[in-house]
Amino acid sequence: MSFMERLVIIVIGSLLCLTGTSIGLKHNYGDALSKSILFFEGQRSGKLPPSQRMTWRKDSALQDGSLVDLAGGYYDAGDNIKFNFPMAFSTTMLAWSVIEFGRFMGPDLNHTLNAIRWGTEYFLKATSVPGFVFVQVGDPYADHNCWERPEDMDEPRISFAVSKDYPGSEVSAEIAAALAASSIVYRKYHLGNSASLLQRAREVFDFADKYRGSYSISLGPRVCPFYCDFGGYQDELVWGAAWLFWATKLPYYRDYINQNIQNVRNICEFGWDSKDAGINVLLSRIHLNKSSSYMPFMADADKFVCSVLPESPSLSVSYSKGKLITHIQKKLIDTKTKILHQCFFVCSFVNVWCGLLFKPGGSNMQHATATSFLFLVHASHLRKTKRLINCGGNIFVSRKRLRELAKSQVDYILGSNPFNMSYMVGYGPKFPLKIHHRASSLPSIVNHPSQIHCKEGSTYFESQNPNSNLLIGAVVGGPFINDSYEDARPDFVHSEPTTYINAPLVGVLAYFSGHRHHHHK
């Protein structure tokens, strides 16, 4: 792209801002933060506490577990199954959010700590029988065949565990990571059980490492295709070791990381399935032994950044067109020019709408929230090391640019998009009303105390009416890549919220809530 073409883009973007055509909305990040953590109360399973704020939800699945009490924990999304793999990742991310950004959470800090505790208390139960780690409660086929409230469930609540004969290294190591990360949080906020969490984390990690294998194979169709581990278990082992190294500072975990890091190959991926990019950002953050040994992790974390930035030559993700490009297409630019293709450069210079990050698969919003979280953590690392990231092609990236990209994703989620819609339930004047979520769509026991059986809920599923209850704070899977969104309950790929979409967003919103007036510093 020539200098003149870039200049035209900057001028066009500036004119759009000045004329009010595409001025970014001002968002209340504190309000969005409060709602994003409230969502987890709507996902609770088990005996609800007196402090429960989402009062249309009631006690559910109190008899979970046979060998051991497995009541508690979280439903992963819009169904009534407890999948421990994504639940553990969500708990890890909530803990990391507090570690990095807890000081910006204000009154929502205690609610976030409660959300972490709700997860860790369940995981202590799930790992309480030596030689076993319980990894799932509920038959997903029976559950998905019903549309009923969690308070009404009457189908089998089968518990599934991994063991030395049926290994599950990825889910066990992720639980170890969640317990270790939470132990760091509890140590800082004096909640008393940090030592017991850390001890259990070490035991579960040893189990995961000693009996290596994937639960996708050992449990097969009970976890696949729902939360199959497509990325292998090696990344979770290194991820767990990284969190244990941070929590203990023991050389054993540092050596384990150095011996196994070569197994972490998908350095541009991060989410409930692949921890690779998160590992490199985390290890850059904690510096290992503060010597040159952490340099490879930093280099791979930089490669991850360059794979996401729109202006980078090594871009490997897609972006929707967003509002700014839509205006340029309609009003100002011949689509045959290169300018349209390179329009994202405007985001670097003016505060305007950019597109949403996209990767293949469902629940796309998880990529926008998880990537934004890693960008903010890595930006903090850049500040401390006083350096820029070299993406090649004369593209040098500052911490300010990482924060701009994260902010553009958050703002898109909250309503700065072509649909002018917040994708967080309850935030803003326009948001999804027919989300794919059983408890939200069916009337609460408060208003409909008699049981609604398995197939009786189908009427509510098929209805064109809004959901009966607002699952405040829930962020849905998000729009199509053309920025359109159909508010439809059956379209679960786009209309279903998940814990692992919200968990990284809690930390991101906390950061921007604390940096409303100086987020680029």
Active site residues: 436, 487, 496
Give phi and psi for 265, each to the nearest 5: -115, -25
Residues 6+ apart with CB under 8 A from 494: 364, 476, 477, 478, 479, 480, 485, 486, 488
- Cα–Cα distance measured from residue 255 to residue 435, given in angstroms and rounded to the nearest whole number: 46
Task: Tell the residue number behind the tokens 């290992």, with chain if given.
Answer: 288
Would you tell me how many other CB atoms lie within 10 Å of the CB of residue 471? 26
What's phi and psi for 262, nearest 5 deg?
Answer: -65, -15
Distance (Å, rounded) from C-alpha 51 to C-alpha 53?
A: 6
Closest to 217 (Cα-Cα) out of 206, 202, 228, 204: 228
- CA dist 101 and 212 (Å) reads 34
* Sign for the pseudo-dihedral over CA of 415, 420, 422, 426: positive
- Spell out the alpha helix ranges (H) of 424-498: 438-441, 458-462, 492-495
Q: Could you tell me the CA-to-CA distances from 180 to 34, 187, 429 in Å, in that order? A: 25, 11, 40
**Contact 199/124 with Cβ under 8 angstroms?**
no
Quote the strand ranges of 342-492, DSSP E.
357-358, 389-390, 396-397
Total Cβ atoms within 10 A of residue 324? 27
DSSP run (H or E) holding 271: none
List CB contacts of 266: < 8 A, sequence separation 6 or more: 231, 235, 274, 276, 277
Beta bridge partners of 134: 161
Residue type, 80: N
Residues 6+ apart with CB under 8 A from 59: 46, 47, 48, 151
Closest among 403, 305, 418, 419 to 348, alpha carbons compared: 403
Cα distances from 305 to residues 114, 445, 496, in angstroms, run: 32, 47, 28
- SS3 state of residue 160: strand
